[in-house]
Every structure is written in C-alpha cells, then in structure tokens.
Amino acid sequence: MVCGAPGSGTSLATKILRYSGMFAGADAGPIDARKFHESVVFRNTNNQILESTIGFPHAPKTIVQFSTHIKKLEDRIDELVAGVDLKGLLQVYWADHTGHQLWGWKDPRNSANALLWRKVFPKLRVVIVEKKWRWSERRRKGSLAGTWYRAKSNKPLRELYVNPPYIDGLNCFRFNVDQFMRDAEHLEDLWRWLELDEGSFRDFKEFKLLVNAEDKDV
C-alpha cells in the first residue's frame, strides 16, 4: 500500500515501484505516464469509505475532516470492512493479469484508511512517501488535489498523511523523494525491502531517466 500527502511524489514513487516489478492494477494508467498510477477500483473504494464517514469522497483537506473520519472509521470498522466487496475489487484490479508476486496500489487516501486496509490485508506492507514541503512550489501545477495541497495545506495535516494512524506494527518503508533524487543507495534500500534482485537493474542514472525523474520533482 502506497500512501503519502497529495502532491508529495506518490505518483513518482509508484512509477518507480512499477518499473521495479510491482503490479499496480490492470485499471492503473500507463506505466510511462507522469501521473495516473492509481488503481481506479481501489481509489473508488477509498472514496466510498470517506463518503460514508464524512460525506467527502476525496483526500481529507483539513485536520477536522481527517480526525472526524478516523473516529468514525474506528466506530464503524467492522461494518465498513464487511462492506468491501473484496472479490469484486480484486477481479477488477487483476482482470486477466496473473503471475505477479509483487503487487500493490497507490492512493494518498490510503493514509486515512490504513486501519481498514490492514484489517482487509493482515500481511499488508506500506510505502510511505515523504517529500520536503517547499514554499516555492505552492503555485506549481499538478493534479487538482496535489495543486491544492501544495498551495493550501498546513504542516499538521501533512504530518497526518506521512504518519498515518494505525500503521504501528506494520512492515513500512519510508521513501523520501528528495533522497532518491540524489542517493542511489536509497533506491537500493527500497529494492532490498521489496526483496528484489538489485543486480538485474540498470545503473542509477539510467533508472532515473527510465522513470523520467526530474529535478523539479524534488
């Protein structure tokens, strides 16, 4: 499960994961796209849960929204878990793809729904995407949510996205976008965590070109 604040590099991180061998869903965008690496069915499920708890089917935009959602998620967890059509969800996610041992999905909303997803997938592993927030980037355009968060979010809200409630005890890797841009060892650490054979990959500069990572991503 890939999570982190909107506009923090979750798309880049997922693109890196996909080129590293992770299947992200038959309903995800093209692997070479800059954005759109979310599984549509997982994103829609996250939206339905948020609609059910706070009447806002998007990534929470305020501390009050996020906190209210967590409280209602706690109170209704058994009901909400039972409401997930896991068989139907996975049928859409996998479609006719088979043979992928490493799979996952990306959505900033995962940070708000970690309690539910760890109930659905008890062996869940989590990639938390981090990136230093820069005042100079507040006018940078991207996805609608990413543009909003860069311009109007505050530090306490961003902290909730990178420290999601209910991930304690899970196997987590903190992927730092800034560190990836300058440090090949951070990518190698990710591959080791994924239990991949590092020797099968290109060198660091070639890999950055492959995923189209640019300095403006930092």
Q: Which single residue is written with the structure tokens 């906190």?
A: 67
C-alpha span between 96 and 83 (Å, rounded): 25
167, part of any domain:
yes
The answer to whether the pTM exceeds 0.85 is yes
Stronger pLDDT, 211 or 119, i.e. the higher one: 119
C-alpha span between 5 and 159 (Å, rounded): 8
109 and 43 Cβ atoms separated by less than 8 Å: yes
Mean pLDDT over 52-66 rounds to: 96
Question: Mean pLDDT across the chain, nearest whole number?
Answer: 90
pLDDT band at 217 (very low <50, low <70, confident <90, very high): low
pLDDT of amino acid 213? 84
213, part of any domain:
no
pLDDT of amino acid 99? 73
Q: What is the pLDDT of residues 72-111, one digit of tens each?
A: 999 999 999 999 999 999 999 999 997 778 999 999 999 9
Stronger pLDDT, 34 or 29, i.e. the higher one: 29
Q: Report residue 71 CA to chain centroid gap.
A: 22
- What domain count does the chain have? 1
- CB-neighbour burial class of residue 161 (10 A; exposed 0-12, middle 13-18, buried 19+): buried
pLDDT of amino acid 218? 47
C-alpha span between 140 and 81 (Å, rounded): 37
Q: What is the largest CA-CA distance in the chain?
A: 48
pLDDT of amino acid 4? 96
18, part of any domain:
yes
The first and second tokens of residue 42, run together, are 């997982």
Residues with Cβ within 8 Å of 190's Cβ and at least 6 positions away in sequence, in order, are 16, 17, 20, 127, 173, 175
Domain that holds residue 76: 2-178
The first and second tokens of residue 107, run together, are 């959505």
Q: What is the pLDDT of residues 121-134, one digit of tens each?
A: 999 999 999 998 76
pLDDT of amino acid 153? 83
The first and second tokens of residue 195, run together, are 């239990």
Residue 199 predicted with pLDDT over 60: no
Q: Which single residue is written with the structure tokens 């505050």?
A: 154
pLDDT band at 141 (very low <50, low <70, confident <90, very high): low
210, part of any domain:
no
Strand arrangement of the beta sheet that strand 171-176 belongs to: 2-3, 125-130, 171-176
Q: Which single residue is written with the structure tokens 């994103």?
A: 43
Number of helices (H) and strands (E) in the chain: give both, helices first. 11, 3
Alpha-carbon Rg for the chain, nearest whole angstrom, is 17
108, part of any domain:
yes
184, part of any domain:
no
